[in-house]
Chain A
Amino acid sequence: MSETALWLLVLLPAVVGGGLALSRLERAAAAVSLATAVTTAALSVVVALERPRVSVPFMAGSDLALGVDALSALVAPTVAVVSLLVLVFSAGEIRESQARFHGLMLLFASAALLTATAETLPALLFAWEVMGATSFALIGFWWREDHRVSAGLTAFVTTRTADVGLYVAAGAALAGGAGLALGDLPAGSEGWRHVVAAGVLVAALGKAAQLPFSFWLSRAMEGPSPVSALLHSAAMVAMGGYLLLRTEPLLASTGWAAPAAAWVGALTALLLGAVAVAQQDLKQLLAASTSAQLGFVVMGAGLASVSGGAAHLVAHASTKALLFLAAGAWLTALGTKQLAGLRGVARRWRLVGWAATAGALSLAGAAPLALWATKDAVLAAALAESPWLYAVGLAAAALSAAYAGKILVILWRQLPEREHAEVEAHLDEEEPGTRHVGLLEQAPLVALALGAVVLGVLALPPFGDTLARALGEEPLHPTPLEIAASVVIALGVLALVWWRPVPVPEPGWALAWLGLERATQALVVRPTLALAEALARFDDRILDRGVAGSAAAALDLARRAATFDDRVLDGAVEATSRASLRAAEGAARDDDRWFDGAVEAVAGWLRGLGTLARRPQTGQLHQYYIQAVAVLAIGVLLLVTVR
């Protein structure tokens, strides 16, 4: 029973989504999609409680195995519930091509659910890449606008570049002898295990938009807001962090991969935090903060604090989905996502405003909201490992308070009369706004805001301790001093941003997302395209012309042979025939005289000819073939020359 539920959890959204995406059921699309999402969410709860495992034989001696353990029991329902809430929002927000939209979103969710429950590398990679491809289709959803499709292309190709790590990991796991099950990876032979860990690490960092891959996330903002909400919170990006949590024993077993993950996470949290502070566009700000927040999850995985990382992942999912949906609601209503155009917006739609405020406060790490508790759990693990790591983490936490504060200032700060015109100039700059936020858009925000407030319990006793023990860890609590430090930093920075309206620093390097995309363009994309062009020219001009040249040489040779054939051989034949004619005339004369002798001579000549004719008939097939080939070749040459 629960096994069926697990299969259905993945298959139901996949099949319904695939069907919807290809169908034209525009009217029924939202209803079908919501019904599917509700069922999926219910199934996710069932499997989280029952913890089933299923598998079927797949390939490379490995199964397509799914299973639910303590970690996926937490993450799978998160994916399913956030997907459901985002789809409810979409039912109100997306008015065109609904069937395609809902279909792709369900496929996306299904791939995320398969990622969350996969127990073998083939199953994981299967889901992993489908997630990438659906993200391409969703980011480029409004396909009439080229820049959006380009953004999807960037997302897919960048994340696939990192995915190559999983292919390498699969090969190394097979060579290492422990098989392709995720749980068995740490048991592989010493040398290969390092390769497996490196491959998994790269793939996860790519999906989680950690350094140096983070730039694709900026471009991904071209997609519809519900896509951003799901992609940043519970699918795709979150799954990158999740993979590292899932493979934490492997990372730890190598000795270097875990610290590497911890440091990459910490640096991403720090640098992308700075990027977020510098942004002037709400969605860009939120995107950079996603990279930064996922940095804490990655840190958790690197510090063997799977419970802290998982709690942060779930709390962030709720918080970030909420903020993106709010941003989407305002974009639809006002036609802008520029911070300058959203000033005072919380006063206009109170419910949306308060929900977003809860999200922003959680993002800032304000106690006692969700991300405050979960981030401190990770930071406690960091302090146990290295004071430097802890210091970087604290600095990153201060930055998250700064960018969250920036949002709060925009939302609530009273707008002086004289600046009204300035704000209104931004309205409708991206799309014509509807000036309306509907019920379907508002309802999910309330649920998500609740999550952003209370999900901190996942990292607080008693529930946090239960979770840690279920994941096989000793619960780790921040000391009162650490708690005080984080509370003071969050509130202090918020106060600084609110009370001292000096402009928040927005340096160019941070505004441009560290210039990573430009660097990639210059160092990878353009050289590759140039190389491709050069090779294509080489192929046409040299390789192909070489072939054509030898063909021409062969033709030339054939012409010479033909001339030789005409002048010399044929001449000789003609001469011979003239000579034979003359001989024949002579013979004819002699014939009368020497009839009997002539008969004898002819018979002898014929005998000779017979012997000659027998010669090629050797019964050797290859010789027949060579003759046939010769005749064919001559035929072709004749064809060519005569033409």
Chain B
Amino acid sequence: MLSLIVFLPLAAALALLALPRLGDAAARWTWVAVAAADLALVVAAWLRYETPTAGRLAFEEQAEWIPGVNSSYHLGVDGLSLPLIAMTAVIFLACAIFALRETDRPRLQAALFLFLQSVSMGLFVAADLILFFVFFDLSIVGMYFVIAGWGHGNAARSAMKFFLYTFLGSLALLVGFIGLYIAADPHTFDMVELAEQTPLAGSSLAGGLVLAAILIGLAVKTPTVPFHTWLPPAHTDAPAIGSAVLAGVLLKMGTYGFVRIAMPMLPEAWRDWAWVIIVVGIFSVVYGALVALAQTNFKRMVAYTSVNHMGYIVLAVGAAGLVADDTAQARSVAVTGAVTQMVSHGLITGALFLLAGVLQDRAATYDMDSYGGLAGPAPRFAAFFAVGAFASLGLPGLSGFIAEFQIFTGSIAAAPVTAVALVGILLTAALFLRALQRIFTGETRGRSVGFTDLRAAEVWSVGPLLVLSLLIGVFPRPLLAVIEPAAEVVVELVGR
């Protein structure tokens, strides 16, 4: 089941490459069909999913791969990864639909995104560090080509910066993985075994160093302050669907690594360094929001709010490391919130970046002051944008609130000082409302004149993302019922 989910898009990508005479329209629709089929498979998996026993995975698949180093082709899902693969499938389908109007090498673009989809799915279901790492690096390669090949502005430079920065980060990650491998007895790269063994328990120096390597690797990808400077140029110059995948899916690979690798495998080191992680989280929240507030370029602004939103996750997982007897429930609430935030941010920021693509498509600028009164000529665009903005600032009724409420409630209960980060929700409220005001209200002026409202493909790609955010915001139980048991397990593992 999982292998099919992972490799179906890749097979389609190869087929698209092998059939150069396929028409553009056929290529575009093939992409949509395959993305839809993959989503259908994920939905089927979700319906059949039953919470596995603590420490185990559902739908496990294991085959020999590199026996010499005890690395196997091992896949599986639990409450941490299932929501993420579902979110990934949704984002990629939305991108496929959005790209139905693409005229620049659509066949190649479809193949590249299908490849990226396989890689992203693979990362979230990987249960072996080597497999994880391979997917991690391939995602960087894929995104490099997306930005360099279909970007605008200074795309080549931004793509190179993105590639080098995140690739260097992945090397740190690899060093950490090798450290885990060496410390494990017997040596293994298997995630389930490593989480059981907790290889570096008892040696705080080695444990700290390995954790540091892994944290740096993940922090670059997430990104947290001060490793975030690749993000704004990458987003600004990436095509809309590239930004949506980058922010929606690729950033989650970093935060997912925290809950999947760092916390269960290095619980002692995690507890020792919890305060550092919390401080980095708070710093990312406040710094990201403040810098976003000062932006005049819409896409750069959303990019910095991603730093802010990822900061909440880092903050929550850090707070989960402050183990005390009477805060187990609070810490599990915080981790649940963190995973919810991964899903929620994917949907919302994916939608916002696709909407930013509309600005670029119609008027070729993201500069907010070039617009004004856009609600007049483009009421539907304004409505979608407003919903996305309110979702992103954490308004109840939309998914961001469910995530952030749990993050704050859990974190504040575990570490009251984290309340400082609440400043973040004020700043994001102010900056999104200011953006709404700058672009959409007042007299219709500047580039807003003659702006065409959303087209069908845009409505049907962005709309479902916002509807999902609304559904999660109002009926969070189906999602939380999957995440909560897994979050409890993580909290238990960190407490060992």
Residues on A facing B (Cβ under 8 Å) = 22, 56-61, 122, 125-130, 133, 136-137, 140, 143-146, 149-150, 152-153, 156-157, 160-161, 164, 167-168, 170-172, 174-175, 177, 180, 195, 528-529, 531-533, 535-536, 539, 543-544, 547-548, 551, 619-622, 625, 629, 632, 636, 640
Contacts and interface: CB of A to CB of B under 8 A. Distances in A.
Interface residues of B, number: 68
Contacts of A153: 430, 433-434, 437
28 contacts: A58-B476, A59-B406, A60-B336, A60-B405, A129-B401, A136-B433, A153-B433, A160-B425, A160-B426, A161-B426, A167-B419, A168-B419, A171-B412, A171-B416, A174-B330, A174-B333, A174-B413, A175-B416, A195-B416, A529-B293, A529-B294, A536-B294, A543-B226, A551-B164, A620-B69, A621-B66, A621-B68, A622-B178
B57 interface: no
Given A22-B383, A621-B71, A621-B130, A164 B425 contact: yes
Interface of B: 66, 68-69, 71, 130, 160-161, 163-165, 167, 171, 174, 178, 181, 226, 229-230, 287, 290-291, 293-295, 326-327, 329-330, 333, 336, 373, 375-376, 383, 386, 390, 395-397, 401-402, 405-406, 408-414, 416, 419, 422, 425-427, 429-430, 433-434, 437, 440-443, 476-477, 480
A303 to B, nearest CB: 30
Contacts of A529: 293-294
B59 to A, nearest CB: 26
A528 B416 CA distance: 23
A626 to B, nearest CB: 9
A637 to B, nearest CB: 10
Nearest to B373: A144
B364 to A, nearest CB: 23
B410 to A, nearest CB: 7
Contacts of A636: 163-164
A400 to B, nearest CB: 33
Contact of A171 (B167, B171, B413): B413
Given A157-B433, A171-B413, A619-B68, 4 more contacts: A60-B409, A171-B411, A529-B294, A621-B130
A543 B304 CA distance: 14
A535 B294 contact: yes
Instruction: List the 4 closest pairs (A to B, CB-CB), nearest first.
Output: A171-B412, A175-B413, A536-B294, A532-B294
A131 to B, nearest CB: 10
A43 to B, nearest CB: 20
B294 A170 contact: no
Main secondary structure of the interface of B (DSSP, over half): helix
The residue in B160, B178, B291, B373 that gathers the most chain A C-beta atoms within 10 A of its C-beta is: B291
Contacts of B181: 622
Nearest to A175: B413
A177 B375 contact: no
Nearest to B372: A146
Contact of B397 (A22, A130, A547): A130
Contacts of A531: 290
A150 B442 CA distance: 10
B486 to A, nearest CB: 15
B279 to A, nearest CB: 17
Contact of A172 (B291, B329, B412, B434): B412
Nearest to A56: B477
Contacts of B429: 156-157, 160
Contacts of A59: 333, 336, 402, 405-406, 476, 480
Contacts of B408: 167, 170-171
A137 B427 CA distance: 18
A130 B394 CA distance: 10
Contacts of A150: 437
Nearest to A636: B164
A144 B333 CA distance: 43
A535 B287 contact: yes
Contacts of A136: 433
A143 B174 contact: no
